[in-house]
Amino acid sequence: MDRNFEDLVDEADAVSVAGWDFSWLDGRASEQRPSWGYQRQQAQRLASAQAALDIQTGGGEVLAEAAHFPPTMVATESWPPNLAKATRLLHPRGAVVVADPDEPPLPFADAAFDLVTSRHPATLWWDEIARVLQPGGTYFAQHVGPASVFELVEYFLGPQPQARTGRDPSNESAAARTAGLEIVQCHTERLPMRFNDIGAVVYFLRKVIWMVPGFTVAAYRDRLRDLHQQITAEGPFVAHSSRTLFEARKPE
């Protein structure tokens, strides 16, 4: 068992976690997808936009799935490995990738875009989103909802009662309204995630760095070994992701 644990952990600790492609987890972890199909709906909106901005695009993988880009297509990203990957993926499609620290201000003029999108933004600067939207423009996004995957977070960090209240869609809606946006729709779903081996856990926590801040295998090896033994004895570790479909409009 220990040798298997070491092999799984070492493998997951060595693999690249650049970009936002989770295909390394195929067969090792699974996540039920929300019912609304964000990627499909984003692509439909992009096809009819004139100027669009995708905030915190990651490696550009989600945006690149759209069949048609508007005449002006821009994406922002802060993490250098993701910037490089997004540039390689999106530049051939005519999209511009801009390095942005995910702090205000967005490096664009007022009313520059009729569509702003984002899948799982880590931060939300509503005043800036409202500023760069044209009157009548739309913000369309899939947010991480409250207490997402907290079964795993709290396994490593212990109870997090205050953090559980973050990303509340009612609070996000209120903040968007304060920035001058009208809420068109806001829906949240909680969906099962299954981690079939400890390598999947290590990879996930290395990639989604805000789940367990400062996570390293060395720092959590004992806890990882305990979880490996639990998965071996009881089967996959089950957590629940939380996702919110969010659409807001800037009044004419």
How far, in Å, CA of 33 to CA of 190, rounded?
10
- C-alpha span between 16 and 81 (Å, rounded): 10
Mean per-residue pLDDT, 4-12: 96
For residue 19, what pLDDT is reported? 76
CATH code assigned at 139: 3.40.50.150
Residue among 78, 135, 145 at smallest CA distance from 111: 135
Q: Do residues 189 and 243 lie in contact, with contact meaning Cβ atoms separated by under 8 Å?
A: yes
Please, where are the H alpha helices in 15-149? 38-48, 61-64, 80-90, 126-132
Range with the lowest mean pLDDT among 163-172, 176-185, 216-225, 232-241?
A: 163-172
pLDDT computed for residue 1 by the predictor: 44
Per cent of the chain over pLDDT 90 is 93
* Confidence (pLDDT) at 30: 97
Domain range spanning residue 106?
2-249
pLDDT digits (tens, 9 = 90+) for 14-55: 999 987 789 999 999 999 999 999 999 999 999 999 999 999
Model confidence over 74-127: pLDDT tens digits?
A: 999 998 989 999 999 999 999 999 999 999 999 999 999 999 999 999 899 999
Is the pLDDT confidence value at 2 over 90? no
**The pLDDT value given to residue 239:** 98
What's the chain's average pLDDT? Answer: 96
Look at residue 21 in the predicted model and tell me its pLDDT: 83
Domain count, the chain: 1
